[in-house]
Amino acid sequence: MTYFPEEVVEHIFDFVGSHRDRNTVSTVCKAWYQVERLSRRTVFVGNCYAIGPERVMARFPGINSLSVKGKPHFADFNLVPYDWGGFALPWIVAAARLCPGLEELRLKRMVVTDDGLELLARSFPNFKSLVLISCEGFSTDGLAAIATYCRGLRELDLQENEVEDHGCQWLSFFPDSCTSLVSLNFGCLKGEVNGGALERLVARCPNLRSLKLSPAVSVESLNKILARASHLVDLGTGSFAVDHRTDVYHTLMNSFPKFKSLRNLSGFWDASPCCLRAVYPVCTSLTVLNLSYAPAIQGDDLIKIICLCFKLQKLWVLDSIGDKGLAVVASTCKELQELRVFPCDIYGAGTTSVTEEGLLAVSSGCPKLNSLLYFCYQMTNAALITVAKNCPHFTRFRLCILDPGKPDPVTNQPLDEGFGAIVRSCKNIRRLSLSGRLTDQVFLYIGMYAERLEMLSIAFAGDSDKGMIYVLNGCKNLRKLEIRDCPFGDIALLKNVAKYETMRSLWMSSCDVTLGGCKALAAKMPRLNVEIINENEETYEFEENLSDRHKLEKIYVYRTVAGPRNDAPDFVWTL
């Protein structure tokens, strides 16, 4: 291969798509490294502190697509303090200087500021796509800058961000000449929306295929938009509640039949059952349906709509669907691949919710099921064993039993055997979240069988250090391990320190690791950042006086070539 001219090698590399394959290819020899780095177009950085932005861009000067992730996953559940880090600005600044051809930027769990957005908007003449997921720190002013300066913008996708509302006019900042939008998602915005500007924007973008509105967009506005956007493939409705005796309602009822290409439906904020009828005409072609923000739609109405969705591949619902509703899913949605069932009532007793029966039904009725997120109040080993037999293709299996540490209610046993069956049967499982009463035994099973496992989330489980050690010694492909409230301490932490360099990160909170243990880890492994997050104001003033036996509330360990970060707040110590 080294005798081929570079152009040929490069052409061959064009067929090598995935990041991992390209990374592998680049390690073969210097020549290949060079060809690969100059021809690389997309870079994915899973941990923004694993490497500095300048280094990435110096190695890959030709990239036009960058994806960066910031905070650890448990930040989604308020376990990471607000100003821990994950700042996007250094990446935007470096790209502005070193990769002016940037076209796509995707940021997840990062702090993005209005200044950053403005710099982004002004620095990249070919910029086409901005995707922000679970980010915070910016306002509608930043969005106005994007709208103003990004000529030729194709995609603006804002998913579940915390966006400060500085007024509704940002949509008006898209110039009249902007006709290139293909995808616009602002479902997470809380403030008012300028309906007229939105309608005009939609009307002048003939390529618009994906549109997701925020709850502030009224049905009246939706009607006007739908009248202009009949080529939509993906729609997130805004507010979906209106009095059934009004003209607006009648228009809504007649708006959907003409949509021949509509495949994804979501939104449905505050949807009322009578409004939901409007979408019946398109149900038979839907592949994705998200009703998880519509608490007013109860079991029977959910069943009415699901009965029609026989092509459904992805379904997100609230647990008000009940086991009965899940049985209907099982008998109707034979193409189903992904199911997510969220709890309606987080703190309640869970009277109308789902149990192991619902999951059993879906597992036996939906042979293509490979991705599950299931919140329930109880689960049995027997059910999990049957689910494992029915669905050996799970790649993602996340079960959350709402009562931490709850055993099998029938046998009063821990759920070790159930989850053990899942990992034994599902050879391709990549992501697993455990819950319920679990002993060290389940971790023995995971270590033994979950060869492809990449991400494991553990809470309120295990008996001793052995549990964590089984996992660290076993799961060859483990990349992310996050643990909370488990009795794992220094012995487990230090048993297999080399493992952490093969992983992206380790999170442990409310466990038994001590300051001494972490110091030892940091000393042995200089290429790891061992971060201690100490929110207890009393102790962090007396850092030097803390004994090595002091138990640490939160630690975050990750491999890095960038050394300790220079933007850490006071309460984060890197050992």
Contact residues for other proteins, defined by CB under 8 A: 74, 76-79, 134, 160, 162, 188, 241-243, 245-246, 269-270, 272, 292-293, 295, 342-344, 346-347, 375, 400, 402-407, 412, 433, 437, 439, 457, 459-460, 462-464, 484-487, 510, 553
Query: For residues 222 and 195, is the Cβ–Cβ distance under 8 A?
Result: no
Element (H, E) at 155: strand 155-159
- DSSP letters, 157-216, are EEES-EEE---SGGGGGS-TT----SEEE-TT--S---HHHHHHHHHT-TT--EEE--TT
* Minimum CB–partner distance for residue 521 and other proteins (Å): 22
Of residues 325 and 343, the one with the C-beta less far from other proteins: 343
Q: Where are the beta strands (DSSP E) in 41-82?
A: 42-45, 65-69
* Minimum CB–partner distance for residue 105 and other proteins (Å): 21
Of residues 363 and 457, the one with the C-beta less far from other proteins: 457
* Minimum CB–partner distance for residue 331 and other proteins (Å): 28
Q: How far apart are CA 189 and CA 136, in angstroms?
A: 12
Q: How far apart are CA 180 and CA 195, in angstroms?
A: 19
* Minimum CB–partner distance for residue 485 and other proteins (Å): 4
Q: How far apart are CA 219 and CA 443, in angstroms?
A: 50
* Minimum CB–partner distance for residue 250 and other proteins (Å): 13
* Minimum CB–partner distance for residue 159 and other proteins (Å): 9
Packing angle between helix 299-306 and helix 322-332, nearest 10 degrees?
0
HEC string for 440-460: HHHHHHHHHHCCCCCEEEEEC
Query: For residues 58 and 98, is the Cβ–Cβ distance under 8 A?
Result: yes
Of residues 505 and 509, the one with the C-beta less far from other proteins: 509
* Minimum CB–partner distance for residue 242 and other proteins (Å): 6
* Minimum CB–partner distance for residue 203 and other proteins (Å): 26
- DSSP letters, 338-380, are EEEEE-S-SSS--SS---HHHHHHHHHH-TT--EEEEEES---
Of residues 207 and 246, the one with the C-beta less far from other proteins: 246
> Could you give the C-alpha distances from 77 to 72, 386, 468, 490, 536, in angstroms and in order?
10, 31, 22, 25, 19
Of residues 44 and 82, the one with the C-beta less far from other proteins: 82
> Could you give the C-alpha distances from 76 to 127, 136, 144, 485, in angstroms and in order?
29, 12, 26, 17
Candidates 143, 208, 163, 160; CA nearest to 182 is 208
Of residues 408 and 531, the one with the C-beta less far from other proteins: 408
Query: For residues 66 and 88, is the Cβ–Cβ distance under 8 A?
Result: no
Q: How far apart are CA 290 and CA 353, in angstroms?
A: 18
- DSSP letters, 73-94, are GGGGGT-S-TTS--BSHHHHHH
Of residues 154 and 484, the one with the C-beta less far from other proteins: 484
Of residues 39 and 134, the one with the C-beta less far from other proteins: 134
* Minimum CB–partner distance for residue 340 and other proteins (Å): 11
Of residues 118 and 356, the one with the C-beta less far from other proteins: 356
Place of tokens 């009795």: 487
Q: What share of the chain is helix, strand, coil (3-state, %, to 5)?
A: 35, 20, 45
> Could you give the C-alpha distances from 286 to 6, 266, 267, 289, in angstroms and in order?
46, 11, 14, 7
* Minimum CB–partner distance for residue 342 and other proteins (Å): 7
CA 226, 230, 236: angle at the middle one, nearest 5? 55
* Minimum CB–partner distance for residue 566 and other proteins (Å): 28
Of residues 53 and 137, the one with the C-beta less far from other proteins: 137
Of residues 116 and 350, the one with the C-beta less far from other proteins: 350
